[in-house]
Structure 1
């Protein structure tokens, strides 16, 4: 298990964006930190009110956005558009090519989100868009799948053999996960503090796991985590 502490993340601070990039992205380049399996991008962003990312293109990528606080306005060249609120998840399959914008839907309040990219299992997918809402109660004390390439109808569908789980854990809440042989897991503490199989992780810390076996995640205070099961 590789542990990377919060202060080891690349941090970009501008007048409209505070971003933590966990893999090489844009101006941040580290040849030893390009991806983890098909997980290519994991960004933890705070976007100021009245700002955001104007229209720009993507190809051959599954893009999952999970809004933590606030709301983001999405618009893309396939006709997909909508407001993604706190607790909602958006999946955009860029496939053969799509252009989109992601703008803070509020003029005054910031929006905080995770944006994660995985490479698709095959090239040439038709671009598409999907969005789903998940309540706090649904996330409490369980590993809730929010995006998956498997048979999980409650989650948004991605074109890769990967599953994104989130959980809200109170003090002493516990969840378990069995990492199968040949799989890997990416773990990130969105907020709070947890015990991951005997290792204490705090807000912004991450773990990258490649050894199969059971892991236990115990909350040490009110916390939110994300776990991504990957090939």
Structure 2
């Protein structure tokens, strides 16, 4: 097993007043040639948006865009007719395909919204734009890694145009959960949303990330109550 660790304090940072964002990989004004993504995983942004503010309407093409709120409400509106609220405990995916414009605003006037926005490069270009949203809390089994995203529309969680699988684990202190990779040429990017875990010989704290390759599986041990997102993608 080979790994690369990105500690939380090495991420790129942007502070626009209304928006505070941490970038695991190069994004916008943050450029690090050694951190251009992990396989098909291109972006992990950790966003904090003040009340009443947000991202105005802007376009995307040929990208799978996933949003996972951790606090507050995110108001989504797009050019294919979607208009709704996504909250903590839910996941949203948007396949940009041939082109879509959307806005992501704070759904509250005076309470911040915190969310992760994740971009995965698709395996098909020019698909029909689409949107999907569901509750991931309904899918989670304690102290296991539960699937929340896959390539299969009929499988658990949301789906995207890529051979990628996301699993979420809510782990109690002292618990250990195993993960087996789906694809031979795949890697897993493990991101600690909160808590402290051990993977192999490496200890990961809140907001740390680790890329894992050249293995068929691994274990994650919770040193504290923890929430961990595993993102398996083609390398």
* Interval of TM-score (by shorter of Structure 1 and Structure 2): over 0.9
Q: 1:200 aligned to 2:200?
A: no
CA–CA separation in structure 2 for the residues paired with 1:220 and 1:97: 43
Matches within 5 A, 1:163-178: 163-178=165-180
The equivalent residue for 1:55 is 57
* 1:39-74 C-alpha deviation (Å, 9 max, x unpaired): 111111111111110000000000010111111000
CA–CA separation in structure 2 for the residues paired with 1:210 and 1:48: 37
Q: 1:145 aligned to 2:147?
A: yes
RMSD, aligned α-carbons: 1.5
Matches within 5 A, 1:30-41: 30-41=32-43
The CA deviation at 1:214 is: 2.4
The CA deviation at 1:141 is: 1.2
The CA deviation at 1:172 is: 0.9
Which of 127-136 and 96-105 deviates more? Answer: 127-136
TM normalised by structure 1 equals 0.95
2:74–2:113: 8 Å Cα contact kept in structure 1? yes
CA–CA separation in structure 2 for the residues paired with 1:138 and 1:181: 26
1:50–1:105: 8 Å Cα contact kept in structure 2? yes
2:13–2:30: 8 Å Cα contact kept in structure 1? no
The CA deviation at 1:137 is: 7.9
The equivalent residue for 1:111 is 113
* Residue aligned with 1:209, SS: strand
CA–CA separation in structure 2 for the residues paired with 1:57 and 1:151: 25
CA–CA separation in structure 1 for the residues paired with 2:52 and 2:17: 12
* Cα 1:198/1:10, change in 2 over 3 Å: same
User: For this pair of structures, how many residues does the alignment match?
Assistant: 231
The CA deviation at 1:213 is: 3.0
CA–CA separation in structure 2 for the residues paired with 1:63 and 1:137: 20
Q: 1:228 aligned to 2:201?
A: no
